[in-house]
Amino acid sequence: MNTKTLVLAVVGGLTCAVLAFSLQRTERTQQVPQETAITTKARPKQDRSAPPPSGPVDHHAGSAPPARSQSNPPTTPQQGDPSSEFRDAQECVLGYRKAMNLQSQIDLCKELDMAQNRRCDNATQGPLKEKLAEQFRRLSSCGEDIGALEVAYYQHTLDAAIHGNPDAQLCFAQSRFQLGRSWSEEEVSFYKANAPVFLQLALERGDWRAVQLLATSQRMMGHTRKSLLGILVPDSRLERYKLNRLLRLGADESYAAQLDAVAEDPELPFTPEDRKFAQDWARKEYEKHFRNSPTLHETPHACADRG
């Protein structure tokens, strides 16, 4: 594969923010690990035992994953499979997030007036408390420090992504991590250098989740201010319309109707020529990368937290 490739070159050179980044790609074959395609320069390093400080984070340098040594400590344990550690960390974090959501629903009932509170007690609080207790039973092996778990989830996602796990790569690109602090400059730089590559790999293999990530609306981005995804999402109605039309080609009737409802918004400022251009582009990219991809029955979710 040629070097100096831009993410989304595989889908027609979208005019989004990622076009500002020139990505150095190495040749890949099925025998070469995917981590050779990413830039490990300025890889963030964090303390896994507690949320990292708000200041700059130390980083490794080099064109390949750094050697494990005392002077260059690993960011994750040496033993264990990165993909397994990522899945375990993800299960714990998403489980705690679900438990916190259940607790919020229970707390909300307590804040309502008497009439509403009685309905909550009779129809909602009992089942919610049972679900919450069951959720905590499932999390018994995870530990109790949710802050440390969130940091470990980010660390293991990063490590698994570098080692070629496609699910971790998309979770990293979505970047919905709750670290309790702002992103450091090193982390932002690392994201800019590598998230586009992860998305490009997904697009090349016909992964609908990458298309959905790039099609994220500005309204949705407003609800995810801590995510770095806005760096990559195109700030253009026409580009999102093109992505909508690409998803439409892979959708069944029910999901296709949802996509059409968005695309047929009369307020969209598109000429017939714009729409034809988008349709032609979508057809070309579908034939090139997505013809053999699974049919979409609903919105594809990039990460297990479903958005």
**Structure confidence by residue, pLDDT tens digits, 88-122:** 999 988 888 888 887 877 777 777 655 555 556 66
Residues spanned by the domain of 235: 219-290
pLDDT higher than 70, residue 255: yes
The answer to whether residue 276 is domain-embedded is: yes
The answer to whether residue 178 is domain-embedded is: no
The answer to whether residue 245 is domain-embedded is: yes
Distance of alpha carbon 208 from alpha carbon 195, whole angstroms: 16
pLDDT higher than 70, residue 178: yes
In the structure encoding, which two tokens stand for residue 182, read together?
């702002």
CA 233-235-240 angle, to 5 degrees, is: 75
The answer to whether residue 273 is domain-embedded is: yes
- Identify the weakest region by mean pLDDT among 60-74, 97-111, 144-158, 286-300: 60-74
pLDDT higher than 80, residue 186: yes
In the structure encoding, which two tokens stand for residue 296, read together?
């979409």
Mapped onto helix, strand or coil, the DSSP state of residue 92 is: helix
* Confidence label for 245 from pLDDT (cuts 50, 70 and 90): very high
For the entire predicted model, the pTM comes to 0.71
The answer to whether residue 274 is domain-embedded is: yes
Distance of alpha carbon 18 from alpha carbon 230, whole angstroms: 10
Tell me the DSSP string of 129-193: HHHHHHHHHHTTTT-S-HHHHHHHHHHHHHHHHHTT-HHHHHHHHHT----SSPPPHHHHHHHHH
The pLDDT of residue 112 is 67
pLDDT higher than 80, residue 1: no
Sign of torsion over alpha carbons 300, 233, 203, 75? negative
Chain centroid offset of residue 71 CA: 32
The pLDDT of residue 87 is 93
Nearest CA-CA partner of 166 in 125, 204, 123: 204
In the structure encoding, which two tokens stand for residue 43, read together?
């890889």
Distance of alpha carbon 217 from alpha carbon 205, whole angstroms: 23
The pLDDT of residue 151 is 94
Distance of alpha carbon 123 from alpha carbon 48, whole angstroms: 41
The answer to whether residue 297 is domain-embedded is: no
The answer to whether residue 252 is domain-embedded is: yes
The per-residue pLDDT of the chain, averaged, comes to 74
Counted domains in the chain: 1
